[in-house]
Amino acid sequence: MARNFKTLDDMGDVTGKRVLVREDLNVPMADGVVTDDTRLRAAVSTVAELADKGAKVIVLAHFGRPKGQRDPSMSLALVTLPFQQVLGREVRFIDDQHAAEVIDKMQDGEVGILENTRFDPGEEKNAPETVERLAALGDLYVNDAFSAAHRAHASTEGLAHKLPAFAGRQMEAELDALDKALGNPEHPVAAVVGGAKVSSKLDVLRHLVEKVDHLIIGGGMANTFLAARGVNVGKSLCEHDLTGTAEEILDAAGKANCTVHLPYDVVVAKEFRPNPPTRTVNVHEVAADEMILDVGPAATEALGDVLKNCRTLVWNGPMGAFETPPFDAATVALAKTAAALTKEGSLVSVAGGGDTVAALNQAGVADDFTFVSTAGGAFLEWMEGKELPGVAALAR
């Protein structure tokens, strides 16, 4: 692929240069402890490489939603030590009110984290004065936060117009993987789209039917499509007001030669809780007091056969109510099939979204996919075919 953005390889000598690096350090915390350090680990490659090359590395990030107010519970001071432990070198916290003096005194190869960018009310508005204030602290700008690239904020978009701008290693890997998956994929391409609601993924579904050869629909949203095809889904989660929209998507898929795969056998229960009494039935045999909570084993096996005939897979959302056993069975089985095909070299597999990452981790196969994106909103907007401001700003 012809890249339209510069990477760390294009930066030249960075010794003594102040490099502003936008990372996503918005990690979940409980009682002052980081409960999932995935995003901290993702930031290491870029920050460590620049520090090793002698740059003064100033990490920019947001934490929580302080809405332009200073809130000590959302200070990045809380993340500085956890990041230092993951990075394996000293990291200093930089209070933004004395940032210029602190950065001036930094040694080459030193790493600092600037206070939460969202404490400044101009950050989310991409205000020119906020962009100027941040730009004055650096000589070069690196955006390594794909997960925040769908936001046109001062630290994610504005800075790319003020300083020489480059993609970090995580951003570079993400953009390369996404290009392989939907930009210039090897066909046949399959997409797995799951999750609870059609309403949250309408634009994704509309875009995908034009792009992929096989669209596999699971999760609660499959019930809405089944209802559109005249199936009685009992008391399953179902957006009955969107059955007309589901029919339109099915029609569009037909015109685009995209085969839509809906479950034909399902796992049902009368109550939604861990390990209730269940039945596996044909979709036309769901009783009025039952709810569909997972794709059945026969349909899951058939979907595995679909993947065996594909070269590329994009996955967003679980196949069933995966967080409640035994309704994780279809997600785990299909994920294991995709992982095995990836390992043997016959499938390029790209997955993204919070629920999806959790489901793949539960199946124990996240490391076997070609690429797993930690981005939520940005991954969805990319699946919708939208231009992401943070990415577009790098491509000038």
Distance between CA 20 and CA 355 in Å, rounded? 31
Distance between CA 221 and CA 239 in Å, rounded? 8
Distance between CA 229 and CA 210 in Å, rounded? 21
Three-class DSSP category at 295: strand
- Strand 111-114 to strand 165-167: parallel, antiparallel, or no bridges (unpaired)? unpaired
Query: Is residue 267 within 8 Å of residue 320, measured between CB atoms?
Result: yes
* Beta-carbon contacts of residue 9 (< 8 Å; ≥ 6 apart): none
Q: Which of 350, 365, 389 is nearest to 180 (CA)?
A: 350
Distance between CA 189 and CA 212 in Å, rounded? 5
The alpha-helical segments, DSSP class H, found in 294-392 are 297-308, 329-343, 354-363, 377-383, 389-392
Cis omega (within 30 of 0) for bond into 121: no
Would you tell me the crossing angle of helices 219-228 and 243-255 to the nearest 10 degrees? 90
* Beta-carbon contacts of residue 210 (< 8 Å; ≥ 6 apart): 252, 256, 258
Beta bridge partners of 20: 58, 141
Q: Which of 256, 300, 297, 260 is nearest to 280 (CA)?
A: 297
Distance between CA 150 and CA 24 in Å, rounded? 13
**Residue 20: what are its φ and ψ, rounded to 5°?**
-85, 120
Distance between CA 294 and CA 343 in Å, rounded? 26
Catalytic residues: 39, 197, 354, 377
